[in-house]
Chains A and B, each alone.
Chain A
């Protein structure tokens, strides 16, 4: 019977949030057999469910696999299939492989290149392995998907630049200061975005965060959160001598910091660079500050522009990444096809023959006065050895293929045992890969 890979799912493009909520399978991990039990026509199964997508990946036999998976899904949510069906995409065979690779490489994400999806896919896979619902095909497919994601990440720029305002600010700070551990930051005023930027700065190793807030108590509470130090708002300018990165987000109606103030500060600082991030509207910092040497000022619009450029660039890089995905789909397909009996037997014989030929050539080099007759006898001998050595494994494979359903497994083992795919499996490879 024909076996194929199916992928049934919905994502942020095909379904609104209320539909995604209804059909999410995040709380179905407790199901002992998984959402789609491995039984009957279903041979292998994996469930991925995140806030933006649900993907059900199965290896199945027969024609009604898709209907069966949809039924299982609807049943798990106690909702009728008809309600689910209009939002669902169904991929079969190579389309399913391509789709999975695209998802793993974060090319199908809401924000292209975001790194969470790969972790979520890995979790989903480990869950399926624990429930013992994966087999030869899915093991190989998922590991391939992980390596495709890694390749896309290293070979293209889909994940290289910041796509949020606070990250963009941190990236700029790194471009100016390099090693963050020698530098400190100050928050003027508090706000969600300022706090987020401060958190990112701390994660990137900044040495200390100061908080200057008009309400000292509020500043103190915030400083505590960052393990930092609150300073009275009036002493702001004295403190500027010490800090390198200033994130301002007060509700003031006119500029809090002016170019002429900063000139004085710079003198005291001996011109060490300063980076001002003004995320307040109306702006807190006089734009003239940017005109001073060694001072850099970015306001909210500048940062937004950086983010938009980076997003556009990710789109461009995504095209490059899609080519990698296509290429890897072809490779996977080759392996999938080789999982049949006949090609494996051919590969096994030609592998043995190649080794024998190589050794024969080496041997003949050492016998300079070998007659053609002698060579003929040697050749006959190696052919006989090749046939006899391969005879038992081949008839074993044929028997397993006829008798049991596990034929694929033995073919896979044979291919690996004799390394017929010429893979480079290193010592460090994941146990599932080496298995």
Chain B
């Protein structure tokens, strides 16, 4: 077994235990389990960072092919840790840990993009990947926050008694702040991600669009995202509507990432 494989298995184990303990901790309201879960996920994240760094070092400091989904899983946790630090929102680990785990396991079946970046166009390619992954991470958090917001909002409005799990939840406004960040920071990042992708395609392939299904879906998502950006910033959308929009956008993104890879052929394929 190579040290790469050993490392990967270790990361999977840590993420898996992290995801299990966060669920167990949330259901049993056990603070110690939640702390344990955070410790496990942080350790896993540390090893994951080393793993990615090592792979990049071997490849002349560029992300080697086959590591994209692993990188996405890493970005997701990075964003989660940011939310945790910024809003004290440990609650979102309910979304982050399992999603990071699934993506990381998915990354084992990954292969590289069909054409690899050359020379200076690599900068556009890196930017393309990095910004999109960060905006996915932000959207994932807004997705989790949106689901929890909708649930708590409905309960408070209908005056139903809260169960123990809901009593532990942070305030509605905190969930809305996550949505705010996903819109204010996530949309510009997504835009940069799309534009750099087009520039790279222009340089490498000589054409901006190649009719790839993922390109079409991504442009569609950009329009929905832009609409949410406008509604939130100009029309003052908040709360339930913004939460629902984020849930939809993230679902479409996940569909375009996984669904299209499985059911159609695309030059964005990361899967075998």
Measuring CB to CB, which residues of chain A are less than 8 angstroms from any residue of chain B? 160-161, 172, 174-179, 267, 269-273, 290, 293-294, 296, 298, 302, 305-306, 309
Contacts and interface: CB of A to CB of B under 8 A. Distances in A.
A177 to B, nearest CB: 5
B240 interface: yes
A294 B239 contact: yes
B173 A176 contact: yes
8 contacts: A175-B156, A176-B171, A271-B237, A271-B238, A273-B238, A294-B239, A298-B159, A302-B159
Nearest to B170: A178
A293 B171 contact: no
Given A174-B171, A178-B173, A178-B174, A273 B159 contact: no
Interface in B156-209: 156-157, 159, 161, 167, 170-174
B241 interface: yes
Contacts of A270: 236, 238
B236 A271 contact: yes
Contact of B238 (A178, A294, A296, A309): A294
B241 A293 contact: yes
A306 B158 CA distance: 12
B151 to A, nearest CB: 13
Contacts of A269: 236
Secondary structure of the B contact surface, majority rule:
helix
A113 B161 CA distance: 20
Interface of B: 152, 156-157, 159, 161, 167, 170-174, 236-241
Given A176-B171, A177-B171, A178-B173, A273 B156 contact: no
Contacts of A309: 161
A293 B173 contact: no
Contacts of A179: 171, 173
Query: What 8 A-B pairs have minimum CB-CB distances, sorted nearest first?
Result: A270-B236, A178-B171, A271-B238, A294-B239, A178-B173, A271-B236, A309-B161, A302-B159
A271 B159 CA distance: 21
A272 B232 CA distance: 11
Contacts of A177: 171-173
Contacts of A176: 156, 171-173
Of listed B171, B174, B237, residue having the most chain A CB within 10 A: B171
Contacts of A161: 167
Contacts of B238: 270-273, 293-294
Nearest to B166: A175
B212 to A, nearest CB: 38
A293 B239 contact: yes
A293 B241 CA distance: 8
A366 B159 CA distance: 72
Nearest to A305: B159
A175 B236 contact: no
Nearest to B241: A293
Given A302-B159, A305-B159, A175 B237 contact: no
Nearest to A294: B239
Contact of B239 (A172, A267, A273): A273
A178 B161 CA distance: 19
B234 to A, nearest CB: 10
B178 to A, nearest CB: 12
A296 B157 contact: yes
A290 B159 CA distance: 11
A290 B156 CA distance: 10
Contacts of A273: 172-173, 238-239
A296 B156 contact: yes
Nearest to A298: B159
B97 to A, nearest CB: 24
Contacts of B236: 267, 269-271
B162 to A, nearest CB: 8
Contacts of B170: 178
A68 to B, nearest CB: 48
A305 B159 CA distance: 9
Contacts of B157: 290, 296
Contacts of A175: 152, 156, 171-172
Contacts of A271: 236-239
